[in-house]
Structure 1
Amino acid sequence: MQHTSYSVDVAAPAGVVYALIADTTQWPLFVPPSVHVERLDFDGTLDRFGMWATANGTVTSWVSRRSLDPRLRTIDFHQEVPAPPATSMGGRWTVEELGPARSRLNLLHRFEVRDDDPADAEWLTRATDTNSRAELDELKRTAELWTKLDGLLMTFEDSVRVHGPSELVYDFLYRAGDWPAHLPEITRADVAEDRQGVQLLDTDTLGADGVTETSTAVRVCFPHAGRIVFKQTRTPRLLAAHTGEWAVNPDETGVTAVATHQVLLREEDIEPVLGPGADLTQARDHVRRTLGGASTRVLHLARRHAETAVRTLIPQR
Structure 2
Amino acid sequence: MSVQRVHRTSYAVDVAAPAGVVYGLVADTTQWPLFVPASIHVERLDFDGIQDRFHMWVTANGTVKSWLSRRTLDAARRRIDFRHELPAAPVAAMGGSWIVEPRGADRCHLVLEHDFTVAGDRAADVAWVERATDTNSHAELAKLKETAEQWARLDDLILTFEDSVRVSGPAEVVYEFLYSVADWPQLVPHVSRVDVTENEPGVQLMSMDTVTADGSAHTTESVRVCFPYAGRIVYKQTATPALMSAHTGEWSVIPDETGVTVLSQHSVLLREEAVEQVLGAGTTLAEARTYVREALGRNSTATLNLAKRHAENAVRVI
TM range (shorter): over 0.9
How is 1:62-81 mapped onto 2 (pairs within 5 angstroms)?
62-81=67-86
How is 1:171-210 mapped onto 2 (pairs within 5 angstroms)?
171-210=176-215
Aligned to 2:26, the other structure's residue is in SS state helix
Alignment-derived partner of residue 53 in structure 1: 58
How is 1:85-234 mapped onto 2 (pairs within 5 angstroms)?
85-234=90-239
Q: Distance in 1 between matches of 2:243 and 2:7?
A: 39
Q: 2:51, 2:71 within 8 Å by CA — same for their partners in 1? A: yes
Mapped pair 1:250 → 2:255:
yes
Please give the TM-score of this superposition, normalised by the length of structure 1.
0.98
Q: Distance in 2 between matches of 1:296 and 1:205?
A: 14
Aligned to 1:291, the other structure's residue is in SS state helix
Aligned to 1:276, the other structure's residue is in SS state coil
Please give the TM-score of this superposition, normalised by the length of structure 2.
0.97
- Structure 1 segments of 4+ aligned residues over 3 angstroms from their partners: none
Q: Which range is displaced more, 268-277 or 89-98?
A: 268-277
1:79 maps to amino acid: H
For residue 22 of structure 1, the aligned residue among 18, 22, 27 is: 27
Superposed displacement of residue 53, structure 1: 0.3
Structure 1 unaligned residues grouped into runs of 5+: none
Superposed displacement of residue 209, structure 1: 3.6
Q: Distance in 2 between matches of 1:152 and 1:131?
A: 23
Aligned to 1:147, the other structure's residue is in SS state helix
Instruction: Write out per-residue CA displacement over residues 61-81 of structure 1, whole angstroms, 9 at most, x where no aligned residue.
Output: 000000000000000000000
Instruction: Write out per-residue CA displacement over residues 124-167 of structure 1, whole angstroms, 9 at most, x where no aligned residue.
Output: 01100001001000000000001100000011000000000000
Number of corresponding residues: 313
Instruction: Write out per-residue CA displacement over residues 181-204 of structure 1, whole angstroms, 9 at most, x where no aligned residue.
Output: 122321111111011100011011
Alignment-derived partner of residue 3 in structure 2: none
1:51 maps to amino acid: M
Alignment RMSD: 0.8
Q: Distance in 2 between matches of 1:312 and 1:204?
A: 31
Q: Distance in 2 between matches of 1:253 and 1:207?
A: 34
Q: 2:190, 2:299 within 8 Å by CA — same for their partners in 1? A: no
